[in-house]
Chain A
Amino acid sequence: MLSRLMRNRRTVLIIGCLFAVLAGCLLLAAAFGAVSIPPLEILKMTLNKLSFTHFVSTWQPSDETILFQIRFPRTIAVLLVGGALASAGVLFQGLLRNPMADPYIIGTSAGAAFGATLALMLPIGLYFHGFGLVPLAAFLGALGAVFLVYNLARVGGKTPVISMLLAGFAVSAMLAAAMSFLITMSDRLQMRLHSVFSFLMGGIWANDWSQIAMVAPIIVGGILAARFLAYRLNAFSLGEEGAAYLGINVERDKLTIFALGSLLTGAAVSLSGLVGFVGLVVPHAVRLVLGPDHRLLLPVAALSGASFLLLADLLARTLLAPREIPVGIITALIGAPFFIYLLRRTRREYAF
């Protein structure tokens, strides 16, 4: 009984700390930018807005507008994207039993991007009754790509890491070529070239609450739902056959996990465009510190992913201010060397 209490206390403590870190990152990210707003004022403004308090205004009215119309939509979107990508990474890695499966690397993101580009090409507005076709197309693209990669990579009932990386690369390259073709051929896309490029480089898009309000329930719901798959993901670490011996309904659960991972990826991509490596770096770092048990890994990775991307986005906005670097470039600059390190370190194990 005591050991269980201790265990739960440890879990609660870890999660609690990570929520605090996330709140700190959110405050930091909201404070800095083209205009700095003191964190204390941010707190006061927020509490006032929520009608908890009635602090006397000591700030410029313009600060309030910046905070609620620009900073917060942006940072909340970043937070959601970071959590979603890290969770999707954990889901794909657990299912494929491969610590290198990241939505970006296995082609899911490219699928989502292709879907989104198709939607941008259509002769209708970017937003369709508040909720664009873009997120929907991104989701379908993500789902399509992951099934394509998975089936291409499958050799004799197994999914070896090398064939998965190759299939992911091939499918991503194919989709990138198709996307370039569409951009070249479509006048409509030419007009929206800036949107397309900032999409591909992970320039965070979302700047209005309505889009966030649409996507947030999907991402938050998806992250919570993922936690319920945790013990099945643990069983999957024994392989599909091993999981089946433990009573797992392999085909059904595989489909559920793939769909959930793709849903999270698609939702994230619809907010931010392509942001790579979050799903790779964050789960791996968490596993190194806390071990691979998915029951702890899933919530911790989601919270850490959100904090990580908030900091990366803060760098993206402030490094070369007033110019803004797409956040996808920052995460790639951190993530790609990390991926190479991982590949080299595990080379022997995976028999490259």
Chain B
Amino acid sequence: MVDIGIKGVSFSYGDSPVLHHIDLAVGKGEMVALLGPNGSGKTTLIKLLSGVLRPREGEIHLDGSSLSGLKRRQIAQRVAVVPQQFHMPFAFTLREVVLLGRTPFLSAFSDEGERDRQIVDRVTELMGIEKLKGRFFNELSGGERQKGILALALAQQPKLLLLDEPTAHLDISHQVEIMELVKGLNKEQGITVIGAMHDLNIASLYFERLVMLKEGRIFSDGTPAMVLTEQTIKEVFSASVQVIEHPSVKTPHIVITPDRS
């Protein structure tokens, strides 16, 4: 549903450069993982794509229109972000939190309407959390909260879904659950997904295309089999690993080898 073009994008926080002349094109309905060690620039790239940060150089196009020409609100009507976690200081219910996803469509003079509430009902059902709607968001488990945040992002009815390490704080069953949900959205609704991923094996299992970043530059870009090689991981992460084939789905699987020399 969306074409993303990143052309010659550079970014720096103050004097420290983070991204150098990134060129990347993502087609409609693709599911792309950004990989790389801490500080490689993957989260920064997500923030640039969300329009929260603006590139110092270069341009990002979304469906042919430049992101820099769009207002924050217009971007939020097209692009949604799922961060690691939200801290919620007040006792909002899950329903109220998901409804926040309709913010880009509200104005100061009109509150949410029937249509917005229908969307909330639909996305909570899609995430399998419709029974929790009346519960306080803060009292939900980590996995339930993350599904709530995913529902919030979906309530924006985005064409592009950005993930910023969405499974970082979750235990293994919820990691799988969240990624299955995201994969389903990508396959069934054709939502383009770009995710900064911490876990290489999760990325290998759920993404068709991996983009490996090293020190703010694209190091390699391709299928999991192309990107996740022992050589690449050694060069990017300075870590010695073995890459084996996943026993059932045949994707590359990274095995950490303890240093027993």
Contact = CB atoms under 8 A, between A and B. Distances in A.
A187 interface: no
A98 interface: yes
Nearest to B155: A246
A1 B90 contact: no
Contacts of A287: 90-91
Interface residues of A, number: 28
B113 to A, nearest CB: 7
B1 to A, nearest CB: 19
B117 interface: yes
A291 B92 contact: yes
Nearest to B107: A231
Contact of A237 (B83, B90, B101): B90
A238 B88 contact: yes
Interface string A227-247: 011011011011101101111
A28 B101 CA distance: 45
B122 to A, nearest CB: 15
Given A238-B88, A247-B76, A231 B114 contact: no
Interface string B78-117: 0011010011111111001000110110101101011001
Contact of B83 (A4, A241, A249, A295): A241
Contacts of B117: 3-4
A212 interface: no
A292 interface: yes
Contacts of A98: 89
A2 B103 CA distance: 22
Contact of A295 (B50, B52, B89, B111): B111
Given A97-B87, A246-B103, 9 more contacts: A97-B90, A232-B103, A235-B100, A237-B89, A239-B87, A241-B52, A244-B52, A246-B104, A247-B72
5 contacts: A4-B113, A98-B89, A229-B108, A248-B72, A293-B96
Interface of A: 1, 3-4, 97-99, 228-229, 231-232, 234-235, 237-239, 241-242, 244-249, 287, 291-293, 295
